[in-house]
């Protein structure tokens, strides 16, 4: 039987000084291919090139990846400030609509880091541009120096709701994760259920309430060491199970 096909949301980059590309990290592709058991295809995050309706018909599910630019605050009704940093307005326009369409249909979607933030904004939530500036919060940003292994190393625990969706998928009520983000959830959207928190109270694991399909998102980066990490692997395996069910005409939650 053919594998499910997953759209990996790509990101705009400049190669060198002046050559624009759309790309995704190999760890995203490998996690989907080797752990979820699906075929990854990079989707350009630009509504001038692709449209949501055709995308949703062409793929069995989507991975909304991390990225350096922040979601533009106009999408949650706030003004742009210097603290918000860089933006990718084209990605925002595509992904927010695509998330809503897939969730409504029960099509499997998995959000990571920026994708986690996109889930919240897509369903009416707001973001804070710099979590470390809030009273009592730790610095969740990626270490500026070191190897990839050091940058993606475990940084803090996440406490999960007892008996919740994530505790069921991960088989634990506390997990150890990496941390590579500056922006984070300020107010959860009305349909966003927060089930995981960092020790400082930062939301780390969410799903969409009453979604008929897989609609999980995490603030950390489970694609790193997805095949061997005890937290990453079950997340991508659960995503893969939902993808295969969808391909066979079945909508399924974790």
Question: How would you classify residue 50: left for phi > 0, otherwise alpha for psi between -120 and 50, otherwise beta?
Answer: beta
Name 193's bridge partners. Answer: 207
Domain spans of the chain, in order of start? 5-247
For residues 252 and 147, give the distance between their C-alpha atoms in angstroms, rounded to a whole number.
39
How many Cα atoms occupy the beta-carbon half-sphere of 76 within 13 Å? 26
Residues 132-183: tens digit of each pLDDT: 888 888 888 877 778 999 888 898 999 999 999 999 999 999 999 998 888 8
Separation CA 132–CA 229 (nearest Å): 27
* DSSP per-residue letters across 51-78: -HHHHHHH-SEEEE---SSBPPGGGGT-
The per-residue pLDDT for 170 is: 98
> CATH assignment of 5-247?
3.40.50.880
Q: What is the DSSP string of 107-166?
A: --EEEETHHHHHHHHHTT--EES-GGGSTT----SPPSSS-HHHHTS--EEEEE-TTSHH
Q: Measure the CA dihedral 174/121/44/234, to 10°.
A: 20
Prediction pTM value: 0.95
Which of 237, 72, 68 lies closest to 168, judged by CA? 237
pLDDT at 184 over 90: yes
Q: What is the mean pLDDT of residues 108-128?
A: 97
Torsion of CA 203, 228, 109, 52, to 10 degrees: 120
Average pLDDT over residues 225-252: 96
Worst-scoring range by mean pLDDT, 29-33, 128-132, 165-169?
128-132
Q: Per-residue pLDDT for 81 more than 80?
A: no
Question: CB within 8 A of 133, min separation 6: which ones?
Answer: 83
Neighbours of 247 (CB within 10 A): 17
Backbone angles phi, psi at 13, to 5 degrees: -140, 160
**Using one digit for the tens of pLDDT, what is the confidence trace for 42-75?**
999 999 999 999 999 999 999 999 988 899 999 9
| Average pLDDT for the chain | 94
Residue 120 near residue 73 (C-beta atoms within 8 A): no
Taking each helix axis as running N to C, give the angle between helix 114-122 and helix 89-105, from 0 to 180 degrees, rounded to the nearest 10: 70
Q: SS3 of 33, please?
A: helix
pLDDT grade, residue 38 (50/70/90)?
very high
pLDDT at 99 over 80: yes
Q: Does residue 1 register a pLDDT over 80? A: no
Q: What is the pLDDT of residue 134?
A: 81
8 Å CB contact between 99 and 119? yes
């Amino acid at each position: 039987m053919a594998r499910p096909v997953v759209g990996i949301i790509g990101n705009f980059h400049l190669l060198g000084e002046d050559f624009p590309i759309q790309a995704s990290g190999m760890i995203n592709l490998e996690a989907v291919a080797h752990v979820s058991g699906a075929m990854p295809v990079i989707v350009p995050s630009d509504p001038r090139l692709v449209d949501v309706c055709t995308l949703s018909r062409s793929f069995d599910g989507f991975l909304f990846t991390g990225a350096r630019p922040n979601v533009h605050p106009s999408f949650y009704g706030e003004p742009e400030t210097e603290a918000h940093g860089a933006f990718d307005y084209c990605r925002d326009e595509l992904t927010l609509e695509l998330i809503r369409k897939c969730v409504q249909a029960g099509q499997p979607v998995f959000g990571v880091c920026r994708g986690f933030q996109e889930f919240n904004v897509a369903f009416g939530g707001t973001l804070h541009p710099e979590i470390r500036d809030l009273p009592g919060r730790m610095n969740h940003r990626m270490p500026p120096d070191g190897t990839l292994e050091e940058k993606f190393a475990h940084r803090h625990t996440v406490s999960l709701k007892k008996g919740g969706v994530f505790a069921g998928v991960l088989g634990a009520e506390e997990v150890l994760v990496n941390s590579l983000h500056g922006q984070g959830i300020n107010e959860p959207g009305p349909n966003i259920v927060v089930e995981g928190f960092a020790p400082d109270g930062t939301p780390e694991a969410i799903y969409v309430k009453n979604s008929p399909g897989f609609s999980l998102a995490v603030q950390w980066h489970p694609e790193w060491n997805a095949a061997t990490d005890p937290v990453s692997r079950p997340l991508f395996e659960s995503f893969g199970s939902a993808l295969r069910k969808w391909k066979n005409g079945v909508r399924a939650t974790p």
